[in-house]
Structure 1
């Protein structure tokens, strides 16, 4: 007896409400995806924490 495509794709875990909530929150996927999604919004904040003098050296005079 041959399984249909519906039977092959069936999974209790993937169809569960917890998994669907995690998918909507983008908390599933590979480790690389999770790291990129975490660092992408944080990177601009880290760059703004570095003072412009430290970032550019003495090339630019910053007046605040």
Structure 2
């Protein structure tokens, strides 16, 4: 997804508010990305464990 371009406001107060909001958005993006990576790692570990248990149950049947 392409980043959106917003024209820079003319007044100083609006520019400061925009910079502050952009900083918060970038920080939140980093936090959410790290949480997503952590959740993905946990999910992949659970899938590996499930595959291992399935293989063990199949081996017990044979």
Range into which the TM-score falls when normalised by the shorter chain: 0.3 to 0.5
TM-score, normalised via structure 2 length: 0.36
TM-score, normalised via structure 1 length: 0.35
